Each structure stands twice: as structure tokens, then as C-alpha cells.
Amino acid sequence: MLSRVADSLYWLARYTERADNLARLVEVNLQLLLDFKDLDNDKLKEHWDPVIRSTGDEERFYELYDEANSQTVTDFLTFNSENPNSVIGCISAARENARMIRDQISSELWETLNNLYLFLKSNDAKHIWEHSGAYEFYDHIKDHSLRFQGLVAATLPRDECYDFMQFGRFIERADKTTRMLDIKYHILLPSPNDVGGAVDTAQWVALLRAASAYDAYHAQYLASIDPANIAEFLIFSDTFPRSIRYCVTQINARLHNISGCPWGSYSNEPEKLCGKLMSDLIYSNVQDVISFGMHEWLDQCQQRLNEISQATYQTYMFQKPIDLAEEIQQQQQQQQ
């Protein structure tokens, strides 16, 4: 496979997954505000600042807006074309990548992505946002995303194209799960006495809903909302498809499918890095994470995922710049 094609497949999957996660994140935080009335500007800033911080775009946000509140953050993360990581920015980038490799993906996949792009650019999106509300708008984004993922599973052969797309999807998903958990770390409670109270519980429930984990968590832990159990579930579950361990297992499987190297060994740097991260996730638990420091552990996990992504780029997608002078010299030597 051409490195250019692999790169486009990888980013096509990452951008669509990122748009889906952004839609879930903003929707849940808007819903969470409904539980708390009479919030002043300082409280709104404390609520939205961690969301912006979790995206890693805090500096860009404050270059465009004076303060973080419901209107500015939703605009920045959804519609602002100056933010390449907004929903519309991600879908535009995904469509551009899909356009370059249309012969590698199914027509149904292209049509679904193109329809979502046209919807976001149309007056229909503005009409739904202004008249039906933000929740119906974000439901529309999530429905398209789920259809896209279903078509990937239903219409693509299980070859390298599929593996590169799944690799990009699970790298993005694992990264976003670490960032969602980190949001709770940064959200301030009114006082230490509120730990375990109604506000604290509502925030943990919102976190589960943002990760689409509310029902799966309750199926395992019944009615208990326990921070340690939630962290354990979102980091170490080997069956929940948005947990970090599950995503890293999928990343490892895709890397070995691409190289043909059997499990339990490695043939290149990304397989080595991914195997070490997977081993740490298998032989650790939430108490180890708490002892290390939740924020520090999540930050380190994001860095390790980024290292796997960079190593994969260097191994499969990097194209060495063409040195014209060297190429001409080689041609002249061959002609002599």
C-alpha cells in the first residue's frame, strides 16, 4: 500500500472519531448545566475551562474568545472553522482525506461522510440548532458517525485499508477517553465537603454518559456511582469498547495484522511501544493509577499513545522528500 493512502485512511478514521467524541462531550456538558441553576460567570468558567483544557486547544481558544461560557465553548468546538479540531473542522478534514482515496473506500461510506459535511454547511443545520435545540443537533452528528462506523464494518474488506482505519479510530478513542477522565480531575467542587455529594455524583454520571458508558457501567456495578470503579471501568475494562485497555488491545491487533508479525513478539518500533503499553494495562489496576496520580498517569498515557502514532507514521506513512539534485545525479550516472 502507498504511504499516502495509509496516511489518508488513518486520518479519515481519526477525524470522524474525533468529531463524534466532541459532539458527545459538548452535549453532555450542556445537559449537566441543566442540573445546576443560577450559575454566575465564575462558575461557568470553572465548568467549561476543563473541557477546553482537555482538548489541548486552550491557547487557540483564548486567542479567539475573551471567556469560557456555554456560547463560546460550543461555538469553538462545533462551528468555528478557525479551529481545525472543531466538529466542522474535523468533518471537513475527514472528507478531504476520503476524497483523495475514493477508490479505496465504498461509495456508501463516501456518501455518508459527504452528506454529513453538506448538512453541517447547510441551512438545515442552523435551523435544527436554532429551533430544535443543541441536543437534536448533536444527535444528528452521532447518528451519522454511527452509520459511518457501521459501513466501515459492513462494506470494507478485511485488508490493510481496514486495519489502518481501525488503527486511527482506536488511537483517537483511547486518547479521548484519557481526556474525558482528566476533565473530572480539573472540575472544581464548591467545597471538599461536596466530594461524594450530589454535585460530585452528577459530574461522574456526566462523565459516564460522555463516554457512552452509563448503561455498561451499571450492568457491571449495579447502582453504585463510585469514582474508583468508574476509573477502573474506563481504563481497564477488557470488554467495553471505549476503555483504554480495549482500545490499546485493538491498536496492537491492527499493527500485527499490518506487519504480519505474530502476537507476543514485535518487528518494528510501534509494535514494541504498543506491546509495552498493553502489558502495563494488563498488569496494573486502578489503585496503581491512584498511587501514581490520576492526572499524571493520564498525561503519561496520552504521551505514550502519541509515541505509538508517531512511530507508526515513521514506519508506514512518512515519505522522504525528493532531493532533485541527487536524483538527477543518479540518472546521469545510470546513463553513463
Cβ contact 97:148 at 8 Å: no
**Contact residues for 295 (Cβ-Cβ < 8 A; gap 6+):** 182, 185, 186
Q: Give the distance, in angstroms, between the CA of residue 156 and the centroid of all CA atoms in the same chain.
A: 22
Q: What is the pLDDT along the chain (336 residues), one digit of tens a residue?
A: 678 899 999 999 999 999 999 999 898 888 877 766 666 777 777 788 888 888 888 899 999 999 888 899 999 999 998 999 999 999 999 999 999 999 999 999 999 999 999 999 988 888 888 888 888 899 989 999 999 999 999 999 999 999 999 999 999 999 999 998 988 777 655 555 666 677 788 888 888 988 889 999 999 987 788 889 999 999 999 999 999 999 999 999 999 999 999 988 999 999 999 999 999 999 999 999 999 999 999 999 999 999 999 999 999 987 766 666 776 676 666 666
What is the pLDDT, as a whole number, of residue 303? Answer: 97
pLDDT at site 51 = 87
User: What pLDDT score was predicted for residue 335?
Assistant: 62
pLDDT in tens, 225-235: 888 999 999 99
The packing angle between helices 3-34 and 41-55, to 10°, is 160
Whether the model clears a pTM of 0.75, i.e. scores above it, the answer is yes
Average pLDDT, the chain: 89
Q: How many CB atoms lie within 10 A of CB 74?
A: 23
Largest Cα–Cα distance of the chain, in whole Å?
84
The pLDDT score that the predictor gives to residue 215 is: 93
